[in-house]
């Protein structure tokens, strides 16, 4: 069996994210692979009934969101012993940013949860299925069950 060299954990810090992280950590250990982590911050937009999606004037809010996410990513990464240079924080569309970061960093396995913060309505969440459809490398969706 081929071994993986570089594994990317997509972390949304949801309730079940810890389980996905544990799976990523044990696979990295098994394959003696590098483990990286990525979190995507959604752009804050306000839907205005006349103008549609608009960027809020209060850009401080975005700044605060980024800082809070950075802090969260840092402490989550520490529990997995992931060094700073392998912690990625991006803004925008989660599936596109995750796939792009994987390609830029020669990742050969992306690990996601089957579901995230948006719930369990479908077999596979939209971020997970988007990554599965677009990634050039292998993708492992860790099955998470609803309560």
| Interface contacts to ligand AMP, rule CB under 6 A | 10-12, 14, 20, 38-40, 94, 112-113, 115-116, 118, 125-128
Q: In the bound complex, what is the minimum distance in angstroms from residue 16's beta carbon to ligand AMP?
A: 7
Strands 109-113 and 6-10, bridge-based pairing: parallel
User: Which residue lies nearer to ligand AMP by CB, 56 or 119?
Assistant: 119
Task: Please give the Cα distance from 106 to 46 (Å, whole number).
Answer: 35
User: Which residue lies nearer to ligand AMP by CB, 33 or 139?
Assistant: 139
First and final CA of the chain: distance in angstroms? Answer: 35
Q: Which of 147, 127, 145, 19 is nearest to 80 (CA)?
A: 19
Report the residue number whose CB is nearest to ligand AMP.
125
Q: In the bound complex, what is the minimum distance in angstroms from residue 49's beta carbon to ligand AMP?
A: 26
User: Which residue lies nearer to ligand AMP by CB, 34 or 132?
Assistant: 132
Residues 42, 30: contact at Cβ < 8 Å? no
């Amino acid at each position: 069996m081929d071994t993986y060299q570089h594994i990317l954990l997509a972390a949304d810090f949801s309730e079940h994210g810890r389980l996905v992280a544990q799976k990523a950590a044990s696979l990295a250990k098994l394959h003696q692979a590098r483990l990286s982590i990525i979190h995507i911050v959604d752009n804050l937009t306000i839907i205005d009934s006349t103008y549609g999606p608009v960027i809020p004037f209060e850009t401080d809010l975005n700044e605060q969101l980024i800082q809070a996410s950075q802090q969260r990513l840092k402490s989550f990464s520490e529990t997995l012993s992931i060094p700073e240079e392998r912690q990625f924080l991006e803004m925008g569309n989660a599936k596109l940013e995750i796939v792009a970061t994987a390609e830029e960093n020669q990742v050969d396995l992306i690990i996601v949860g089957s579901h995230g913060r948006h719930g369990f309505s479908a077999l596979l969440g939209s971020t997970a299925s988007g990554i599965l459809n677009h990634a050039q490398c292998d993708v492992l969706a860790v099955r998470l069950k609803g309560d």
